[in-house]
Amino acid sequence: VLERTIKALDLADRLFINSYHRVDDIAWPLAKGAIAVVNRHSPLPDTVQPGVLNAHAGRAAYEYVCHATDDALAGKLRAVVTAPLNKAAMQLGGINYPGHTEILADRTGTAHFAMMLARTMKWNEWLTAGAAVGLMAAFFGLAVWKLL
């Protein structure tokens, strides 16, 4: 899907995919324009089309999040960044989580969790965000500050 997207956006002269089976196989630093993709799930069929619900794609989305989380917990990754998951496709693939937050919480054994969204803000919006973070810290305790 990424390779098709790169071609569709006419970025093939600037971006390319390096595919790996394990995080440990990645040769750092990456070449300019390289996108390292760790694919430990079985390859998706060529019939998978963006925007069309597919059980294979839904199951793969779940597996990718699980593998990335496991690699982060093992200290092989510094962070996990996700894009939107299609919950209907995940359900077709036999996955019944409402979304990322619940998958991550289950995978990490976290009982109390919340989602936090971020975006670029103007300076006056930082005051509101700072107040929200302060409230979160009061609610969740000092552990929030450790994460930030």
- Give me the residues of the chain with pLDDT under 50, please: 123-124, 126-148
What is the structure's pLDDT at 27? 84
Q: Mean of the per-residue pLDDT values for the chain? A: 78
What is the structure's pLDDT at 87? 92
Which of these, 63, 93, 94, 69, lies nearest to 81 by C-alpha position? 69
What is the structure's pLDDT at 147? 42
What is the structure's pLDDT at 142? 41
What is the structure's pLDDT at 91? 95
Contact 50, 69 (CB under 8 A): no
Question: What secondary structure letter does DSSP report for 121?
Answer: -
Query: Which run of H or E residues covers position 37?
Result: strand 34-38
What is the structure's pLDDT at 6? 86
Which of these, 147, 59, 76, 69, lies nearest to 104 by C-alpha position? 69
Cβ density class 26-50: b for 16+ within 10 Å, e for less: eeeeeeeeeeeebbeeeeeeeebee
What is the structure's pLDDT at 39? 77
